[in-house]
Amino acid sequence: MTNRRMFLAQAGMLSAGIMIAPKLVMAKGSNNGVGLQLYSLRDRLKGGDVKEVLAKVAKAGYKEVETFGYNKKDGFWGLDATQFSDALKDNGLRTPSGHFEFDNFFATGNTDQLQTYIDAAHTTGMEYIIVPHLDGDFIKTVDDFKKIADKISTAAEVCKKQGLKFGYHNHNFEWKQVDGTTFYDTILERTDPNLVKMEMDLYWVVRTGQDPIEIIKRHPGRFFAFHIKDMDKANHNINTEVGNGTIDFKAIMSYAKLAGVKHFIVEQENYTNIDPYVSIAQSAAYCKNVLHV
């Protein structure tokens, strides 16, 4: 396997490679190690042995995991927050952030459910509570955009008072134009950059036709994490292992420091003719050995 010194030496021999070396240095903006969004293994977690899954995630080369789907009744796939935290520690893993459902809060403004998320975050050592998606009915008009952005700010304030940070994870619908603006732009413009951070899903940004680098340039320091998810060369509607697809991660990673990114989180929503554990191991290896995250 080509190590970093060899890679940079080889890159220096090529005119195009001259631009690669500083990109890789700049991408190395975190000591946290590569992370995995556990949604990538949702089929293994559902009704499976969560502890076994975490052990295999660690074996695949990950140091962090990002959760999804927590609720007070079922916890983290049958484990309560304390049990899940213990399972992470047993495998040398940590969880900097989690994806939590917010549609009830956006509909009612009730923060009771949010408080259960905060409690779980404290127990597991999370730093960020993340909005992973929302019902499209909430954001049909520009006025809707503003109302939801304000509710995001409200939730972020609740979290801040209890020592946590708040973030938003994009898909593609956030860039739908309505009366000259988009929901994504509204979040960025209407919320406090110090209060609401963004988790940039690079796959969805690129698939939507946006330029991640241009977004970062317009909003430096706003992004606490990248979701590293590659786009299949033949079918842009599906993912492939990081480094096997069409997204130029090397170029994007050169702007990680400017973006403010501290966490690099692999996510893969589907697999083609490959075992998921083999897939995530390949992606982790590329992130570490080529992107140097």
Sign of the C-alpha dihedral computed for residues 209, 213, 217 and 222 taken in this order: positive
Full domain range(s) for residue 88: 25-289
The answer as to whether 262 is a domain residue is yes
- Residue 170 in contact with residue 205, Cβ under 8 Å? yes
Residues 6+ apart with CB under 8 A from 165: 127, 128, 129, 156, 159, 197, 224
The answer as to whether 7 is a domain residue is no
pTM: predicted TM-score of the whole model, two decimal places:
0.90
User: How many other C-beta atoms lie within 10 A of the C-beta of residue 259?
Assistant: 25
Distance CA 253, CA 255 (A): 5
The answer as to whether 18 is a domain residue is no
Distance CA 263, CA 232 (A): 23
Question: How much is the pLDDT for 24?
Answer: 38
Distance CA 252, CA 125 (A): 29
Distance CA 285, CA 37 (A): 16
The answer as to whether 189 is a domain residue is yes
- Residue 224 in contact with residue 263, Cβ under 8 Å? yes
The answer as to whether 12 is a domain residue is no
The answer as to whether 5 is a domain residue is no
The answer as to whether 204 is a domain residue is yes
Question: How much is the pLDDT for 236?
Answer: 96
Running DSSP on this structure, what letter comes out for residue 223?
E
The amino acid sitting at 136 is G
All residue ranges of the chain with pLDDT < 50 are: 1-26, 29
User: How many other C-beta atoms lie within 10 A of the C-beta of residue 270?
Assistant: 13
CATH of the domain at 207: 3.20.20.150
Tokens of 233: 């060369």
Total number of domains constituting the chain: 1
State whether residue 149 is helix, strand or coil. Answer: helix
- Residue 226 in contact with residue 202, Cβ under 8 Å? yes
Question: How much is the pLDDT for 30?
Answer: 60
The answer as to whether 15 is a domain residue is no
Question: Which string of DSSP letters, residue by residue, matches 150-162?
Answer: HHHHHHHHHHHHT
Distance CA 271, CA 279 (A): 8
Question: How much is the pLDDT for 32?
Answer: 87
- Sequence-ordered strand ranges (E) for 52-158: 64-68, 94-99, 128-131
Tokens of 245: 């697809």
As a dihedral over the C-alpha atoms of residue 270, residue 275, residue 278, residue 279, rounded to 10 degrees, the angle is -10
